[in-house]
Structure 1
């Protein structure tokens, strides 16, 4: 939900809190029962990747159901914890052991030891059963440190392609972090692919374009990924929810791999402080003077630039897209008592044209965006 001037993203990792079942929201009780009932499907998995995929999808389906349903008590970390506790305390079954092994591969930051202890507890309860060895490898997946990047034509949607491998597996897979930086940077999707070519083709099919992934050696280029919000916005897609836990786990593995190479990902920071509107107002005013023979009202431009810049990754300040324009229109609409609002709304189409031309976007895309914000 757009909120004008100062909505700050959060990034707080939780540690497990052992809670009583009676304290859980109703949707969690129902979803936990569903997860345990449907865990039998995990018996079809033949390798760590299949187990991870099936577990992520099983949990993602319940997160999606909760989000589309009553929308009460949407604490996804609490749900993860409660599922682990329920599986560990239920009548011992092999599929529940597989569920916990799969959850250990995608566990949120701070939950790893908690899940491992639950796996060990259930394993002891199943000591009479012969269990396969390969599920133990699921939690041992590591990033190789090789990373590539793709952007959409507007430059506000980021695809980070990182290779990962399981112990003893000579063929790494590619995990794609999809990040939307139209406003507060946030996860917009994710998934595992057999190769970089396969991942690239899937990206092109969803996002478009024909660009070739560029290898990343500068950690600063991953600022949008590193600072993505962990808040639940309420409009997350099923792809996002399937990767809600896994993306965080994969990100930490990538961070570790880069640290081992002597590189560090950008620190997490807020984009609501230290914004200098002149970074955009000066070039805009110069373009406006050259194009129209006059300069717009300084106050209006400054207010528009400040609202445009706050909350988004600085490297994308000069990027414009339909989604970003949609956000800024909603934010300006929140200026209910601001006398500058009408003038800022009237200036937005010109602002969109300037940014589109500055970015070298095709004229058809520029005109479509201008027309849309002129309505």
Structure 2
């Protein structure tokens, strides 16, 4: 849900996650987890059908994602997905040794969140010893060894608030690299909105176009600063994540870590972690809006009102997308303005928002039909 002025989103969880993984102390499980863990182990036999590291990884991600989605759909507390990952590994380690359990751990080692890799590897080794009498295939061990090449492309939807990042990956000895697609929604706080593995850049682009329009064309990324939305995506659970997003919840983090490493090996660095709620200068948007308003309507809008609207618009979003407007972004800002305490200012801002949307839409060169649709979306009757 939107975060109104004066209330900030939770702090980034990356550091806390690493510290928690190092401790690995037993914890009381929320009510939803035991059943979810039982479901994962009970359905693990499907992994026996996997014939490649990619299939194993995909099926594992789907097994876990199904339980994350089920938990999110229910009225559950304790939606700690890192704890769930840890608890599944511990449950597998304590269960009767089976080949499908070994495959599950191999798949989980390929998508383990940062800080959990060594914990999963140790569990894999222990289970392998318990299965020493069984002949196990060699290829599952390759799943955790997938690496990014450092070749990256970006895509944007027509509004400019959806970012697609395509990164090339390969397993050891694999002559046919795959492409991982990160889908990032920057309409508000940047967040993962989906993803997936594809055979080629063209195939990933086609999947993107089916979701977000035929206009998108991939552009090779030579400056990692363009990937700020990816680098600073939120790790918090907002409660409206789709099944496709939750299938990628763990894998996207692992793939991002590998991509970061590959870029560093090329002497390139992704943008550092930051907050988008400090050092906001509303004049960056207020000044050009007021100039356009004067030219268009031959009168100036109220200075303080415009700066209030600009501040609300800019807080929480990637600076490179400040001047982008989309239906989703308008939905977020409309909800935020609706939470303003001052009735007079709130009503005035709501009345000004359609003009603000028109200015941004025309400034971005969007088709008139899209501009008019967004104006209508926020017009109060």
Give the TM interval when normalised to the shorter protein. Answer: over 0.9
Matched, 1:125 2:125: no
Matched, 1:97 2:97: no
**In structure 2, C-alpha distance between the alignment counterparts of 1:283 and 1:20, rounded to whole Å:** 56
Paired residue secondary structure (2:4): coil
CA contact (8 A) 1:8 1:270 kept: no
Q: Structure 1 length normalisation: TM-score?
A: 0.98
Deviation at 1:25, TM superposition (A): 1.1
Deviation at 1:8, TM superposition (A): 3.0
Deviation at 1:339, TM superposition (A): 3.6
Structure 1 residues 12-21 or 99-108, which shifts more? Answer: 12-21
Partner of 2:165: 160
**In structure 2, C-alpha distance between the alignment counterparts of 1:204 and 1:211, rounded to whole Å:** 7
Partner of 1:265: 270
Q: For each residue in 1:191-225, what CA deviation from the matched residue of structure 2 results, as whole angstroms up to 9, or x when unmatched?
A: 00001111111110111123320000001000000
Partner of 1:2: 2
Which of 197, 205, 214 is residue 219 of structure 2 equivalent to? 214
Deviation at 1:2, TM superposition (A): 1.2
Deviation at 1:340, TM superposition (A): 1.2
Tell me how large the CA RMSD over aligned residues is: 1.0
**In structure 1, C-alpha distance between the alignment counterparts of 2:284 and 2:308, rounded to whole Å:** 13
Which of 118, 121, 136 is residue 116 of structure 1 equivalent to? 121
The structure 1 segments of at least 4 consecutive aligned residues displaced by more than 6 Å after TM superposition are none
**In structure 1, C-alpha distance between the alignment counterparts of 2:153 and 2:10, rounded to whole Å:** 26
Partner of 2:355: 350
Matched, 1:57 2:62: yes
Matched, 1:297 2:302: yes
CA contact (8 A) 1:151 1:159 kept: yes
Deviation at 1:337, TM superposition (A): 3.4
Matched, 1:134 2:139: yes
Partner of 2:374: 369
CA contact (8 A) 2:37 2:88 kept: yes
Partner of 1:306: 311
Partner of 2:338: 333
**In structure 2, C-alpha distance between the alignment counterparts of 1:202 and 1:112, rounded to whole Å:** 30
Deviation at 1:19, TM superposition (A): 4.8
Question: Pairwise mapping of residues 144-183 of structure 1 onto structure 2 (< 5 A)?
Answer: 144-183=149-188
CA contact (8 A) 2:71 2:79 kept: yes
**In structure 2, C-alpha distance between the alignment counterparts of 1:71 and 1:215, rounded to whole Å:** 42
Q: For each residue in 1:12-42, what CA deviation from the matched residue of structure 2 results, as whole angstroms up to 9, or x when unmatched?
A: 2313254547x11121000000100100000
**In structure 1, C-alpha distance between the alignment counterparts of 2:104 and 2:282, rounded to whole Å:** 50
Q: Structure 2 length normalisation: TM-score?
A: 0.97
Which of 66, 75, 80 is residue 70 of structure 1 equivalent to? 75
Deviation at 1:70, TM superposition (A): 2.2
Gaps of 5+ in 1: none
Deviation at 1:342, TM superposition (A): 0.9
Which of 232, 240, 245 is residue 237 of structure 2 equivalent to? 232
Matched, 1:276 2:281: yes
Equivalenced residues, count: 374
